[in-house]
Structure 1
Amino acid sequence: MTPAPLPGYHYDHPDLPASPVTADDFDGLAAATLFSDADVTALKLAGEVLADQTERILDVWYGFVGSHPHLLAYFSTPEGAPVSEYLAAVRLRFGQWIADTCTRPYDARWLAQQEEIALRHTSAKKNATDGARSVPHVPLRYLIAFVYPITATVRPFLAAKGHAEAEVEAMHQAWFKAVTLQVALWSRPYAGAAW
């Protein structure tokens, strides 16, 4: 049975606009993070390792956000009440993002999805996908700052299946590079011509 599509998840939608980021732009970013074919291989293994741990990973990440009111505010009404439906919808897509980070080819379709994710953090598209009544954008500083917790907290999950330390480290470094690459891409709408 084919799983039902995730609401608001448009990765394979034919109308997803192309990213303004070129393949050469991406190659430059990949080189800047030392991202290599070895990382692609390590991410594929990470995808297998993390697949049945996704809900536990999301529990950790949502627990982190929920424990900081200034972060939870971006999933809340302008008056400060958390929007549970919005949190739940984003959580489903966040789980898919873990799989996509590990298993999707980093091609034009992937770049288009990164642009869509980027815009959904800005006033251009935040809240529109889910019809949420929330604050209008997420400041870029938090996207950048989240590189650390999203990277640090995944390591125990990568180590949970008994792989050798060298394999765990390779998966973790590949994940770190992949998250850094994506946040660099997500910064494009914020930076405009300066990007």
Structure 2
Amino acid sequence: MQSVVDHVAGYDYGTKELATSPVTMEELDQLKQTITFDPEDERYLRVAGEVLEDQTESIINIWRGVITATPHLAYYFKDAQGNIDEDYKIRVKERFKQWVLDVCTKPYDQDWLNYQHEIGLRHTHEKKNKTDTAAAPPHIPMRYVIAFTAVVNDTIKPFLAKKGHSLGVIEKMHKAWCKAVLLHVTLWTRAYCDTAW
């Protein structure tokens, strides 16, 4: 389970072009401890990945529906004239689908850590729009990145329940997913912060 499609535009995971994350592996380990992310969570994330692998399109459509229906979020996909940049939306969607699988399957190594920092940068003035040469607003406020975590975590549970697992397993998958998403988003915020992070 490597990617949703053969080639995802702008998906630079593991490439030498990415900067090294300013977060150290020791700090990452401390974050995992803070979130209480443990080997059992890792196991249930793998199960979740198998469950979600063929559902990424539907998952992202739900999330996109929330964004589209929320004007202050939809704004970040529009050009200066207020028109939706459809090419930009398509490219971001494919990376978002890949991200769902990455949450469940990627090891928390240096490549993963570097890519989390890259994702954070792509929400800020530093890199937003550059990957896709888009003309959308150049910065998404950190408050929206953090707050949207509620949507990502709340709406995933029905998808986790679609493959016949017991309620207990579904709960463990969901708990692991929520912890993992919180870990990802916490790392993304590093791109917004100075060394006081």
C-alpha distance in 1, partners of 2:90/2:20? 27
- 1:51 deviation in Å? 0.4
Equivalent pairs counted in the alignment come to 194
Residues 48 and 173, structure 2, Cα contact 8 Å, conserved in 1: yes
Q: Partners in 1 of 2:99 and 2:21 — Cα distance?
A: 17
- Whether 1:179 aligns to 2:185 is no
Residue 192 of structure 1 corresponds to 194
Opposite residue 18 of structure 1, the aligned amino acid is T
1:64 aligns with 2:66: yes
- How far has the Cα of 1:14 moved from its partner? 2.6
Q: Which residue of 1 aligns with 2:165?
A: 163
Unpaired stretches in structure 1, ≥5 consecutive residues = none
Q: Of residues 142, 146, 149 in structure 2, which corresponds to 1:147?
A: 149
Equivalent residue in structure 1 for 2:93, among 91, 94, 104: 91
Amino acid at match of 1:80: G
Deviation at 1:192, TM superposition (A): 1.2
Encode CA deviations 1:69-88: one digit per residue, 9 max, x unaligned. Answer: 11011111133221111010
Residue 29 of structure 2 is matched in structure 1 by 27
CA shift at 1:89, angstroms? 0.3
For the pair 1:49 / 2:38, whether they are aligned, the reply is no
Greater Cα shift, 177-186 or 72-81: 72-81
Aligned mates of 2:180, 2:103 — CA distance in 1: 7
What secondary structure, in the 3-state scheme, does the structure 2 residue paired with 1:52 have?
coil
For residues 106-161 of structure 1, the C-alpha deviation after alignment (integer angstroms, 9 at most, x for no partner) is 11100000000000000000000000001010000001101110000000000111
Q: Tell me the distance in 2 between the aligned counterparts of 1:80 and 1:46.
A: 38
Partners of 2:14 and 2:112 within 8 A in 1: no
Task: State the TM-score, normalized to the length of structure 2.
Answer: 0.96
- Using the TM superposition, give the Cα deviation of residue 52 of structure 1 relative to its aligned residue in structure 2, in angstroms: 0.6
CA-atom RMSD in angstroms: 1.2
Identity among equivalent pairs (%): 46
The CA distance in 1 between the partners of 2:13 and 2:55, in whole Å, is 22
Cα distance between partner residues in 2 of 1:55 and 1:28? 33
Aligned counterpart in structure 2 of residue 124 of structure 1, from 123, 126, 142: 126
TM-score normalised per structure 1: 0.96
Shift of 1:4: 3.2
